[in-house]
């Protein structure tokens, strides 16, 4: 019987499944500990919510990188020698 089963082999599939199960288990444990940790004062609640928001937000460097990409695209569009005219019918 051949080791190759289409796009992968049995060992690779088992390794992937083991890693995926371990990651899911780790995420579940983290979610449980985060849910169990409730802020006791309004100040703690504000700090906790700010931490959650920061964790879900883009990194500052990512925002800058996105802005640079859009800026370059706008420059390319302005400098294009072949502008697209959407007002004319084909």
The pLDDT tens digits of the residues spanning 22-70 come to 998 888 887 777 666 777 788 888 888 888 777 777 666 787 888 889 9
Radius of gyration of the chain (CA): 25
Q: Say which residue, 85 or 62, is predicted with more confidence.
A: 62
The pLDDT of residue 44:
83
The more confidently predicted of residues 18 and 12 is 18
Sign of CA dihedral 50, 54, 55, 56: positive
Q: In this predicted model, which residue has the larger pLDDT, 90 or 22?
A: 22
Kindly tell me if the per-residue pLDDT of 4 is higher than 60.
Answer: no
pLDDT of residue 2: 54
Tell me the average pLDDT across 64-85: 80
Query: In which element (H, E) is residue 70 found?
Result: helix 60-78
């Amino acid at each position: 019987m051949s080791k190759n089963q289409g796009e992968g082999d049995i060992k690779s599939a088992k390794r992937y499944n083991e890693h995926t199960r371990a990651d899911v288990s780790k995420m579940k444990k983290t979610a449980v500990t985060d849910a169990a940790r409730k802020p006791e004062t309004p100040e703690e609640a504000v700090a906790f919510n700010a931490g959650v928001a920061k964790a879900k937000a883009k990194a500052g460097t990512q925002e800058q990188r996105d802005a640079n990409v859009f800026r370059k695209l706008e420059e390319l569009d302005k400098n294009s020698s072949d502008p697209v005219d959407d007002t004319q019918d084909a």
